[in-house]
Each structure stands twice: as structure tokens, then as C-alpha cells.
Amino acid sequence: MIIEQFKDEFLAHYSYAIVSECEQKIVLIDPSRNPEPYYDFAKKFDAEIIGVIETHPHADFVSSHLEIHESTGAKIYAHSLTGAAYPVHQFDEGTRLDFGKIKLSSIHTPGHSPDSISILLEHDGKAKAVFTGDTLFIGDCGRPDLRESVGNLQAKREKLALQMYHSLRDKLMVLADEVLVYPAHGSGTLCGKALSTANFSTIGEEKQSNWSLQKMTETDFIKELTSDQPFIPKYFGYDVELNRKGAAHFKPLVDQVKIIKQPELEEINASIVVVDARPEAHFKAGHFPGAVNIVYGKKFETWLGSIIRPGEHFYLTASNAQELEELIHRSASIGYEGFILAAFVSNSGDVFMPVLPLECFIANPEEFTIIDVRNENEVKKNKIFDHSKNIPLGELRERIKEVPADKPIVVHCAGGSRSAAGSSIIAAEFGAITPVYDLGVVVRDFAKPEK
């Protein structure tokens, strides 16, 4: 038996291939949008992919379960509560999938969603591992607030938090301490708030160190789990529904994205936003009117799906052809490839952003409107400027009218990439009226809470 873990570092997502070497058969768990890595892995063992198990309809990425089924004939397994619109074999609690010496059993573990399952793996009759989806993470458990208005079944966060309390204690903590824990996400995901950087653990280790498995009342658990969760990107609900229906094939769709040479200004539809992924300095030195600077980096998908609404068309531009191709693929990982009106490499533009007069700002910060684009819980923990106005980046386009234009505007965040995006959004609205500056990483070097 072999357990292979695949990682999408940008979405902090783990998927798995379980190999029966004696039968040369493979079952996948929670595969990413691009199925090619799983096909390549199967070829290494000259093995057949016979099944794909979905632990729940994911919110943060698009799964390739339907494409794998249509391409290989592999069966798809999911809980009946999912309300799947694709051909599915119901994998409710107690249902088992046997191949070779491996037995995979479904455990219904609602909490992150009503239809969440965990998968217990037994080999030669002994429990070896549990694939916990978004129920149990390393150091944390899944958030309960993503299914209040989407999905086949919807539930309030308090109800799901109570279900999580019992799923963890009645279904997972009863497993033997030596059973390996393989979650669907690691540190960096928005599906939890305190995940470890480790990529696997054991039940025993989690009992010792994971806050969510410690002794506490239902009330205390619900209060802790429902407080200070990360923001919810706009695309999450869209992905839940897309995964419930099953996404179209990956490669044909990314290949359909229109690649063009850098257009002239008049060739760009002014009503369509340009997502510019170039470095901040290049963007500020020249970009298209109304462009949003979502910098090429680890969090590109997250901010793309937080700033651009599902169904909203956009242009995509990057510094070079290689980055552009990668970003098209990464847009597809959250189901956004079909919203790209055209993509192109860019090295200039007619609009620039001014450089912050730093000494003036340090001496007289009250003469500027300061917009903090961090999330509310970040600001609660550490408000850097007393007179700043907090508008989280994911809400900024919708709340742009709340930004006053009577003074020069300075935008800041924690590390720089969010302020680059935020300042570009504000500049598109107010740049012709008042200067808009990006404080960026400078805040880490000098800014102290004002008295």
C-alpha cells in the first residue's frame, strides 16, 4: 500500500492517492482542478484509477472529480446529503470501498458542512489512517460558517459548530492514537484559522496539541470556533455549487482563454477591469486605467476570488508569458478561467501612481486619509494608526464610496501586497481627484500606534 500526498501550495490544499500495489488500483481523495498529476502518478505504477472520493463540496478550490470520472471511468463517491448533480455512488456512514488489502470506510463528520465525511483506511484489517477533509486539521478544525447561504444543505454556524464538537469527539477521537491524520488543508488555507505547518499527524498527537480536541463544554467550543474566523472570499459560494455540479474539463477550458498582444488603450473595454499581476513598482510606473494590482505571488487566487466577483469578466496581464500561463491555470483552480476576457503580457501603461512623501507622512499623518485594508480581526489585535478607516480589501470595491476624498489617501496593510491592490482600487476611483499612495511594507519599519 502507498499513500501519496499532493500539495497545491497556493491554496494550501492536500489531495491523496491511495495505491493497492497488489491489484495496481488507485483511489483518489479530494483531487485538485488539474487531473494531470494524478494521471502521471498512476502511470508510474501502471495502475488504474478506480475511484474518487469527495469529502464535501469544497469552497476554496474546484475539484476534478467529474473530469476524472468521464476520462477514466472511475466512480465518484460522496455523502448523499451533498445533493450531487454528477453520477455519484452514495458514501454514507458505514459504506465501504474495498480494493486489494485496503478498506476505506465513510464516517459522517458534519461541522464544516452538513455533508462532510472522513475516510478511515484499514490495511490488512488494521486501522492505519484517516482522511479528515475539512473536519480535523493539524492544530485546528474546519470553520463552520461557509454553508449559511450556499450548498444543497444550508445551516447556521452555531448548529454546525455543535455538530463539529460531536464529530470530533464521537467519531474521530475514538480512533486509536497511532492512526495517521491526513487533512485536506494545511497552514495558509482560509478553511480554518490556526492550522499547523505540518502536513500530517496522528490522532494521539492531535489529542495532545489540537485546541479543538481539548476538554471543554459545548458552549465554550462553539464560542471559540465561531469567533475570529478569517474573511470569506467572494468565490467560495460559487465553488461550492460548481463542485456540487461537477466542473468541466480543465485543459480545454484553459486552452480557450484568448491570448493577445499588449493592446492599445482604445482596444480595452473601459467597463471591464484589468487584473494586473506585475510587481508593485512596475504597476505604479505605468498601467491601464482602472487596473487592479493583484500581485503575482502565493495569494493570487485568494485575492482574485475576493476582489473579482464570480461571473465578472476581466482582462489578465502579467510580466511575461510564463507567469501569464501559470496565472491562467491558477485562475482555473478556483473556476475563474471562463471569466478571463483576454490575457496578455504587459510592460507599460498610461497611468502611474505617485510615490508617498514619506517624511511628510511621518511628521503629519493627520493630513492624510489612512485606509487600512486588513481584515477586521487583524485591526482589533493591532490598530497601527488611531485615525485610520478600516475597509477590508475583499469589501473595498463595494464600499469605495466610504473613502473620503478631501485629503491625500494612504493605503496600508500588514505586508504590502494587499495595500498594492487596495491602493490601485482607490486610485481608479479617486486618482484624478486626489493623490493615492501605497504605504506598503514601509509600515513595518516605522509605524507605531499613535497616541
* pLDDT tens-digit series, residues 250-306: 999 999 999 999 998 888 999 999 999 999 999 999 999 999 999 999 999 999 999
Q: Sorting pLDDT into bands at 50, 70 and 90, what band is 192?
A: low
- Give the three cell numbers for residue 136: 480535523
Inter-CA distances, 113 with 51, 145, 326, Å = 22, 9, 31
Rounded Cα distance, 110 and 135, in Å: 8
User: Which residues, other chains included, contact 350 with Cβ-Cβ below 8 Å and sequence gap of 6+?
Assistant: 265, 286, 288, 289
> How many residues does the structure list for the chain?
451
Tell me which amino acid residue 177 is.
Answer: D
Asked whether the predicted pLDDT for residue 190 surpasses 90, the reply is no
User: Is 357:438 a contact under the CB 8 Å cutoff?
Assistant: no
pLDDT at 450 over 90: no
Distance CA 411, CA 391 (A): 10
Q: What is the pLDDT of residue 166?
A: 98
- Of 267 and 92, the one with more pLDDT: 92
Local confidence band at 442 (pLDDT 50, 70, 90 cut-offs): low
Between CA 96 and CA 342 the distance in angstroms is: 46
| Cα dihedral across residues 154, 229, 437, 417: positive or negative | negative
pLDDT at 444 over 80: no
Q: Which one-letter amino acid corresponds to residue 372?
A: D
Q: At a CB cut-off of 8 Å and minimum separation 6, what does 48 contact?
A: 24, 25, 26, 42, 72
| SS3 category, 391 | coil
CATH number corresponding to 2-239: 3.60.15.10
Going from N- to C-terminal start, the domains of the chain cover 2-239, 249-345, 358-446
DSSP character for 365? G
What pLDDT is attached to residue 196? 67
Superfamily of domain 358-446: Rhodanese-like domain (3.40.250.10)
Mean pLDDT value across residues 323-351:
96
Is residue 262 within 8 Å of 276, Cβ to Cβ? no
Taking only the tens place, the pLDDT of each residue in 388-439 is: 999 999 999 999 999 999 999 999 997 778 999 999 999 999 877 899 999 9
pTM: 0.92
Q: Identical fold at 249-345 and 358-446? A: yes
CB 90 within 8 A of CB 166: no
**Residue 105 — φ and ψ, nearest 5°?**
-115, 140
Query: How far is residue 207's CA from residue 137's CA, in Å, rounded to a whole number?
Result: 12
What is the pLDDT at residue 449? 41
* The three three-digit cell numbers of residue 71, written as one number: 476520462
**118, 172 in Cβ contact below 8 A?**
yes
Q: Which fold has domain 249-345?
A: Oxidized Rhodanese; domain 1 (3.40.250)
